[in-house]
A = this chain, B = another copy of it.
């Protein structure tokens, strides 16, 4: 059956919408944030804890899982859901982004990507077909077509070449997927729009993907160093063009501000390593902005990470204790901070969704922008 997507509310002043994404492993309330579970584990979190904080869908990285333990091993163990004991929705990426990030270890051709494993240097080949084959074996609910990612800044020529290649690869991915769809009826395939921050290329890329017809559409190649204003503008235009009845996924984005701004431009799904990676480095997201817990000023601070947060960590532990754990190099430091940060992200998404449903998204957006401005933080162009 694949996924089914239903829009249940929309904000009249923006492209924000609330939806229900039904999968064979449960329903996802959108917009939502997907915690990143690279190696079939969201680092420093148990699956029980992910359920506790209300994570509805997580992302896993095909590249990492294919190298270790291997997609065949996971398939033999009943697929990714059973392997990691996560009976809820999962999205896997194509592996392309990771492969193309392996500086000096990658060679991209029209046929696919040759790369060397970062683990043992062994040589591998990733093609559009192979990316689908691997993901079919993993058996996530949503899988991604292989795309070519380009660094920022990039020449128009290289962006154009990447768009063209991404479209050709998308066609091959779709063909391979359609030929095997009957074997894995619960899977759905998303295409990825490329084109950097060039309007015309994004439009061309979106157009070509829409001709192929995917179950959902993602924007790739954003949040890679371009100015935020351009990222938001590109997101807005691309999502405007894509079919409104399909889920829209803003890949690799972003900060808490980016979530609100992304939703305002029509995004339904987000993923980003920020809340988990920052947590391990001792950086917590709070309603008052980011704090670096290791800072000496927290050494005698009995208050929680975020006084406005109702998560288990903020109900139980002090900044002083968390600082001590980081200074002492204790694993619990990363565990508790990851828990809080993910909770903060998911709470943010729940608030956003609630605001859309109750017709108050505009208010939320205005408040969020005021907060960002007060924090002297990121740019926040008008939508």
Q: Mark A55-79, 1 if CB is under 8 A from B, else 0.
A: 0000000001000110001001110
Q: Mark A298-337, 1 if CB is under 8 A from B, else 0.
A: 0110100000000010001110110011011011101110
Contacts of A324 in B (CB 8 A): 39-40, 68-69, 83
Contacts of A332 in B (CB 8 A): 41, 43-46
**29 A–B pairs (Cβ distance < 8 Å), ordered by A:** A40-B324, A41-B325, A41-B328, A41-B330, A41-B332, A43-B331, A43-B332, A44-B331, A44-B332, A45-B332, A46-B332, A47-B316, A68-B327, A69-B299, A73-B299, A76-B300, A77-B300, A77-B318, A83-B318, A83-B320, A83-B324, A84-B321, A85-B316, A85-B317, A85-B318, A85-B321, A331-B334, A331-B335, A335-B335
Q: In the bound complex, what is the Cα–Cα distance between A105 and B342 (angstroms)?
A: 43
Contact of A336 among B46, B318, B321, B331 (CB under 8 A): B46
A382 at the interface (CB under 8 A from B): no
Q: How far is the CB of A152 from chain B (nearest CB, A)?
A: 30
In the complex, the answer to whether B73 meets A321 with C-beta atoms within 8 Å is no
Q: In the bound complex, what is the Cα–Cα distance between A41 and B327 (angstroms)?
A: 13
Q: What would 7 more interface pairs be, CB under 8 Å, given A73-B320, A331-B335? A: A41-B332, A44-B332, A68-B324, A68-B328, A69-B327, A77-B302, A77-B320
**Also in contact, A330 and B73, with CB within 8 A (given A84-B321, A321-B83, A335-B335):** no
A157 at the interface (CB under 8 A from B): no
Q: In the bound complex, what is the Cα–Cα distance between A336 and B330 (angstroms)?
A: 16
Q: In the bound complex, what is the Cα–Cα distance between A332 and B339 (angstroms)?
A: 13
Closest 3 CB pairs of A and B: A41-B332, A39-B328, A85-B316
Q: In the bound complex, what is the Cα–Cα distance between A300 and B47 (angstroms)?
A: 20
A120 at the interface (CB under 8 A from B): no
Most chain B CB neighbours (cut-off 10 Å) among A83, A302, A332: A332
Contacts of A330 in B (CB 8 A): 39, 41, 43
A48 at the interface (CB under 8 A from B): yes
Q: How many residues of A contact B (CB 8 A)?
A: 38
Q: How far is the CB of A99 from chain B (nearest CB, A)?
A: 18
Q: In the bound complex, what is the Cα–Cα distance between A53 and B325 (angstroms)?
A: 22
Q: How far is the CB of A65 from chain B (nearest CB, A)?
A: 9
Which residue in chain B gives the minimum CB-CB distance to A330? B41
Q: How far is the CB of A118 from chain B (nearest CB, A)?
A: 12
Contacts of A335 in B (CB 8 A): 44, 46, 331, 335
Q: How far is the CB of A70 from chain B (nearest CB, A)?
A: 9
Most chain B CB neighbours (cut-off 10 Å) among A45, A78, A324: A324
Q: In the bound complex, what is the Cα–Cα distance between A81 and B334 (angstroms)?
A: 21
Q: In the bound complex, what is the Cα–Cα distance between A318 and B300 (angstroms)?
A: 41
Q: In the bound complex, what is the Cα–Cα distance between A302 and B78 (angstroms)?
A: 9
Which residue in chain B gives the minimum CB-CB distance to A78? B302
Q: In the bound complex, what is the Cα–Cα distance between A39 and B78 (angstroms)?
A: 40
Q: How far is the CB of A269 from chain B (nearest CB, A)?
A: 24
Q: In the bound complex, what is the Cα–Cα distance between A330 and B317 (angstroms)?
A: 24
Contacts of A317 in B (CB 8 A): 85
Which residue in chain B gives the minimum CB-CB distance to A339? B46
Q: How far is the CB of A218 from chain B (nearest CB, A)?
A: 26
Q: In the bound complex, what is the Cα–Cα distance between A324 and B40 (angstroms)?
A: 9
Q: Mark A270-314, 1 if CB is under 8 A from B, else 0.
A: 000000000000000000000000000001101000000000100
